[in-house]
Amino acid sequence: MKQNLKKMAGYYKPYIGIFLSDMFFAFLASVIALIIPLLVRYITQNLQSFDPETASVKLATIGAVMVALVLIQFGAKYYIAYVGHMMGARMEYNMRAEIFAHYQKLSFSFYDEQKVGQLMTRITNDLFEISELLHHGPENIALSLIKLIGAFVILFHINHYLTIAAFALVPIMLVYALYMNGKMKQAFRKNREKVALINTQIEDNLSGIRVVKSFANEAIEEEKFKVGNDAFIEAKRSSYFYMGMFHSGMNAFTLLVQVAVVICGGILMTKGKVDVPDFIAFLLYINVFTEPIQTLIDFTEQFQNGYTGFERFLEILAVEPDIQDKEDAQVLSDVKGHIEFQDVSFKYKDTAHRVLRHIDLDVPAGAYMALVGSSGGGKTTLCSLIPRFYEVTKGRILIDGKDIRDVTMKSLRDNIGIVQQDVYLFAGTVMENISYGRPGATKEEIIEAAKAANAHDFIMELPKGYDTDIGQRGIKLSGGQKQRLSIARVFLKNPPILIFDEATSALDNESESIVQESLEKLARSRTTLVIAHRLSTIRNAQKILVLGENGIEETGTHDELMAKGGIYAGLYQWAK
| Residues 299 and 345 both lie in one domain | no
**Residue 58 confidence class, pLDDT cut points 50, 70, 90:** confident
Alpha carbon separation from 168 to 1, 134, 171, 308 (Å, rounded) = 34, 33, 7, 34
- Angular region, 155: left φ>0, alpha ψ -120 to 50, beta rest: alpha
* Closest C-alpha to 393, from 423, 362, 424, 351: 351
Measured CA distances, 514 to 424, 476, 517, 525 (Å): 19, 19, 5, 20
Q: Which residue has the higher pLDDT, 450 or 191?
A: 450
Distance CA 239, CA 235 (A): 6
DSSP secondary structure letters along 472-493: GGGTTS-HHHHHHHHHHHHHHH
Of 119, 254, 236, 126, whose CA–CA distance to 184 is shortest? 236
pLDDT at 323: 84
SS3 352: coil
Same domain, 139 and 286: yes
pLDDT score recorded for residue 396: 94
Whether residues 346 and 292 fall in one domain:
no
Same domain (yes/no): 232, 143: yes
What is the Cα 157 distance to its own chain's centre? 52
What proportion of the chain, given as a percentage, has pLDDT over 70?
94
Q: Is 347 helix (H, G, I), strand (E, B) or coil?
A: coil
What is the DSSP secondary-structure string of 516-541? HHHHHHHHTTSEEEEE-SSGGGGTT-
* 137 Cβ contact list (under 8 Å, min separation 6): 299, 302, 303, 306
Answer yes or no: do 367 and 287 share one domain. Answer: no
Residue 192 belongs to domain spanning:
88-317
Of 282, 317, 352, which marks where a domain is finished? Answer: 317
pLDDT band at 331 (very low <50, low <70, confident <90, very high): very high
**Distance, CA of 26 to CA of 7 (rounded, Å):** 24
Q: Which residue type is seen at 298?
A: D
Listed residue (348, 426, 429, 339) closest to 392, CA to CA: 348
Claim to verify: residue 245 and residue 357 sit in the same structural domain: no
Question: Which of 151-165, 188-202, 360-374 holds the top average pLDDT?
Answer: 360-374
Same domain membership, residue 197 and residue 273? yes
Tell me the pairing of strands 356-363 and 551-556. unpaired
Give the pLDDT band (50/70/90) at residue 503.
low
- Rounded to 5°, the CA angle 4-6-10 comes to 115
Statement to judge: residues 251 and 285 lie in one domain = yes
Q: What is the pLDDT of residues 551-571, one digit of tens each?
A: 788 888 888 888 888 888 887
Q: Residue 471 carries which DSSP code?
A: -
What's at 535, amino acid-wise? L
Is residue 328 one of the residues assigned to a domain? Answer: no
Quote the CA–CA distance of 569 and 557 in Å, as a whole number: 11
Q: In the prediction, which pLDDT does 186 show?
A: 77
With cut-offs at 50, 70 and 90, classify the pLDDT of residue 35. Answer: confident
Residues 117-145 have pLDDT tens digits of 678 777 877 888 888 888 888 888 888 88
The predicted pLDDT at position 572 comes to 74
The verdict on 344 and 296 lying in the same domain is no
d(CA 381, CA 371): 11
Phi, psi of 497, rounded to the nearest 5 degrees: -120, 135
The number of helix segments (H) and strand segments (E) in the chain equals 21, 10
| Mean pLDDT, the chain, whole residue set | 82
- Partnered with residue 402 across adjacent β-strands are 399
Q: Please report which confidence band the pLDDT of residue 400 belongs to, taking 50, 70 and 90 as the band edges.
A: very high
Question: Is residue 543 in a domain?
Answer: yes
Residue 290 · residue 111 · CB < 8 Å: no
Q: Does 135 fall in a domain?
A: yes
Residue 161 resides in a domain: yes
Q: What is the pLDDT of residue 443?
A: 92
Radius of gyration of the chain (CA): 35
Residue pLDDT, tens place only, 221-266: 788 778 777 877 877 787 788 878 887 887 788 788 888 888 888 8
pLDDT over 90 (residue 285): no
Q: What is the percent of the chain with per-residue pLDDT over 90, rounded to a whole number?
A: 10
Given a contact cutoff of 8 angstroms between Cβ atoms, the answer to whether 543 and 367 are in contact is yes
CA–CA gap between residue 22 and residue 83 (Å, rounded):
8
In a domain, 381, yes or no: yes
| 3-class secondary structure per residue, 271-325 | CCCCCHHHHHHHHHHHHHHHHHHHHHHHHHHHHHHHHHHHHHHHHHHCCCCCCCC
What's the CA gap between 274 and 553, in Å, rounded?
A: 101
Phi, psi of 556 (to 5 degrees): 150, 180
Do residues 312 and 359 both lie within one domain?
Answer: no
Distance CA 310, CA 14 (A): 18
Q: For residue range 333-376, what is the model confidence (pLDDT) as tens digits?
A: 999 999 999 999 888 775 655 678 888 989 999 888 988 887 77
CB 148 within 8 A of CB 292: yes
Is 74 a residue whose pLDDT tops 90?
yes
C-alpha distance from residue 263 to each of 198, 257, 281, 485 (Å)? 52, 10, 15, 81
- Phi/psi at 356 (nearest 5 deg)? -125, 140
- Answer whether residue 331 is part of any domain: no
User: Sorting pLDDT into bands at 50, 70 and 90, what band is 576?
Assistant: low
Does residue 72 have a pLDDT over 90? yes
Rounded Cα distance between 235 and 388, Å, is: 43
CA distances from 161 to 35, 167, 254, 499 (A): 22, 10, 18, 85
At 435-487, the pLDDT tens digits run: 988 888 899 999 988 888 888 888 999 889 999 988 776 777 887 888 888 88
pLDDT band, residue 405 (cuts 50/70/90)? very high
Confidence of residue 71 (pLDDT cuts 50, 70, 90): very high
Look up residue 548 and give its DSSP letter: E
> Does 573 have pLDDT greater than 90?
no
Share in percent of the chain as helix, strand, coil (round to 5)? 65, 10, 20
Terminal-to-terminal C-alpha distance of the chain = 65
376: domain CATH number? 3.40.50.300
Task: Count other C-beta atoms under 10 Å from residue 461's C-beta.
Answer: 9
pLDDT band at 38 (very low <50, low <70, confident <90, very high): confident
So what's the pLDDT on residue 188? 73
Lowest mean pLDDT: which of 200-214, 307-321, 365-379?
A: 200-214
The reply to whether 354 and 464 lie within a common domain is yes
CA distances from residue 361 to 348, 382, 398, 457 in whole angstroms, order as listed: 21, 11, 10, 40
Note the pLDDT of residue 415: 92
Q: What mean pLDDT is predicted for residues 179-201?
A: 75
Which amino acid type is present at position 405?
R
Query: Could you give the CA distance from residue 476 to residue 460 in angstroms, rounded to a whole number?
Result: 15
Position 107 scores a pLDDT of 77
* Same domain? 139 vs 279: yes
Phi/psi of residue 85, nearest 5 degrees: -65, -35
- 332 belongs to a structural domain: no
Q: Would you say residue 164 lies in a domain?
A: yes
pTM of the model: 0.69
Task: Give 89's pLDDT tier (boundaries 50, 70, 90).
Answer: confident
Of 46-50, 135-139, 381-385, which has the strongest mean pLDDT?
381-385
- CATH number at 148 reads 1.20.1560.10
Confidence category of residue 45, pLDDT binned at 50, 70, 90:
confident
Please give the tally of structural domains in the chain: 2
Residue 505, pLDDT above cutoff 80:
no
Q: How far apart are CA 4 and CA 198, in angstroms?
A: 29
Q: How far is CA 418 from the centre of its chain?
A: 27
Residues making up the chain, counted from first to last: 576
